[in-house]
Structure 1
Amino acid sequence: MAQRGLAAEFWQVPAVTRAYTAACVLTTAAVQLELITPFQLYFNPDLIFRKFQVWRLVTNFLFFGPLGFSFFFNMLFLYRYCRMLEEGSFRGRTADFVFMFLFGGVLMTLFGLLASLFFLGQAFTIMLVYVWSRRNPYLRMNFFGLLNFQAPFLPWVLMAFSLLLGNSILVDLLGIAVGHIYYFLEDVFPNQPGGKKLLLTPSFLKLIFDAPEEDPNYRPLPEEQLGMDRQ
């Protein structure tokens, strides 16, 4: 019964959040079981472009380190804020959500080249948190019962917490920067005088991920007419 309940809960999670979270957990499990090693996953431009190990463009976003506090902390925030975005401002707009993933991933990869970063999953999580926080500016939050603040301060609180744990804040700053670029181009600039929407989701993504809209002029045949046709 418990297994059935967990399975039902899993399939109720929105598709993009479900796929990304599951991929991160499975990747970490594979490393723990020594089926693969982090050396096969990390971002390495030389191996990508010279030896065509293109999977590294994706796998560096899926590994958050060995099982431990840092891993579970990242998974909690990834799952929570990815799901709230998908069920909130991206509800019914799966293609737009996937496009945000692609936009953020490409931008982080370009910055990663300059900063020599090996794993970008934590930066991606911070990007999701940043976009969600800016779209919920008046929401009051509590961090482990210690701090009370409004949502837009959450990415900075997470960065300070990461610093207290002895981690480099470069990854967090990258996530905040990419999140702000997306938020500005998507939510701010189009509403400015003379501004326009620059981030346009490709039609092929809409074709794949979004259900086709019903024709407002479509009128189904009456039940009586359908019965006559069957006769």
Structure 2
Amino acid sequence: MAARPDIQICDPLLRPPLPLYTSHMSELTQFIRDIPPITRALVLSTLTLAGLDSLGIVNAISFVFYWQNIYEKWEFYRLITGFLVMSPERMQGLFETYLMYTYSRDIESGKFQFNLPDYIYYHLIVVSLIWFFSIFSDGVFLSLPLLSALTYTWSINNYNSQVSFYFMSIKASLLPAVFLGFRLLLEGRYFALQCAVGMFAAYIYNCIETKTFGPLIGLFSKHDKDVSNATANIRRVGTLKNTQASTWIYGDYGYLQAPNWLTNLCIRLTGINYKSSLYQNQRRKNQATAIRNATMRPGTTAGSSSSFIKSTITEAFRGRGQRLGNGS
């Protein structure tokens, strides 16, 4: 039987190989697509502005945060571009961009579970606070306070993790203090102050999120509070009373949900229903995991976000492991 002329039989082994640059471009495109949307927009904008400045097309200094130019010349774009201008030192700027990509990606995909409205709401609060404090601290490069805020938030949600900071391996809970100290020693008081501005903004966000006064109050007052009735009172077989789980006054078991107007706007722009049961169940799961980690005994490793200050547990009597009804 004669073969039809409109059908071509192709052997995959006989196909010509794709050009090397095509393969690399497809891998690069896929890598960019895999980055969460807010982190992708932040990092690509920062790299684009840095590249245009390196080529001499634009001057990055004309995009930094100058409050006087904003209210006198109405250069409102500086409110946004001030967060995109990295350190004038090229290597330092690239390193800060990498850190921003790392921390923001982990926060967006971990703490917020790709929930776009909630992560945007996080940035709206933190960025507004950085704007306010930078007016009084003469902040110009707002990328440094934003990086410090992301560092602080990441360290809270990964406080039991081990991280490498330059040549040291430290616990993530110590990362904000070490980050601030290195800025003070290597770059001086001005840059350390900008780091403190960002960390204080993230600190206020977590106070709002957890409805507490933050870890410093818990550190000095050592005040315990019950996490919730659902998790503080746990009935075990063989216990004489309910297990009372208590934690320091600060624990990362809060979850600040975006307002309805912002959620509805994101739904219209992306076509994704962030009010669906999928996202609502994930939000409840994240909060339940954070509560469980906040009540873990010191020294255990948390699998998700937990408290910046280690929590304590008051354990109830567990019995002697004997069968019920055994009198011996």
Q: Is residue 197 of structure 2 the alignment partner of residue 177 of structure 1?
A: no
**Aligned residue among 104, 108, 113 for 2:126:** 104
C-alpha deviations, 1:98-145, integer Å up to 9, x for none? 11111111100110111111111011011011011111221122323x
The answer to whether 1:149 aligns with 2:206 is no
| Letter matched to residue 56 of structure 1 | R
Q: What's the offset of the Cα at 1:201?
A: 2.0
Shift of 1:51: 1.8
Give, in whole Å, the separation in 1 of the partners of 2:108 and 2:120: 10
Q: 2:145 aligns with which of 106, 123, 132?
A: 123
Partner of 1:16: 38
Indicate conservation of the 8 Å contact 2:70/2:76, yes or no: yes
Aligned residue number for residue 163 of structure 1: 184
Is there any run of 5+ residues in structure 2 with no aligned partner, and where? 1-22, 215-224, 227-248, 279-328
Percentage of identical aligned residues = 23
CA deviations over 1:152-176 (Å, ceiling 9, x no partner): 2112222223234324311111111
Amino acid aligned to 2:175: L
What is aligned with 1:222? Answer: none
**Is the 1:127–1:178 Cα contact (8 Å) retained in structure 2?**
yes
SS of residue paired to 1:156: helix
Question: CA 1:115–1:92 in structure 2 vs 1: closer, same or farther (change >3 Å)?
Answer: same
Q: Aligned match of 2:212 in 185, 189, 201?
A: 189
Q: TM-score, normalised by structure 1?
A: 0.83
Counterpart mapping for 1:53-92 below 5 A:
53-66=75-88, 68-92=90-114
- TM-score by length of structure 2 reads 0.60
Letter in 1 for 2:150: L
- Which residue does 2:246 correspond to in 1? none
Aligned-pair CA distance for 1:209: 2.7
Secondary structure in structure 1 of the residue aligned to 2:163:
strand
Contact 1:28 1:66 in 2 (8 A): no
Q: Which has the higher helix share?
A: 1
Task: Report the CA distance shift for 1:152/1:215 in structure 2 as closer, same or farther (over 3 A).
Answer: closer
Aligned length: 214
Identify which of structures 1 and 2 has the higher relative contact order when contacts are C-alpha pairs closer than 8 Å and 6+ apart.
1
Give 3-state SS (helix, strand or coil) of 2:164's partner: strand
The residue type equivalent to 2:206 in the other structure is Y
SS in structure 1 at match of 2:76: coil
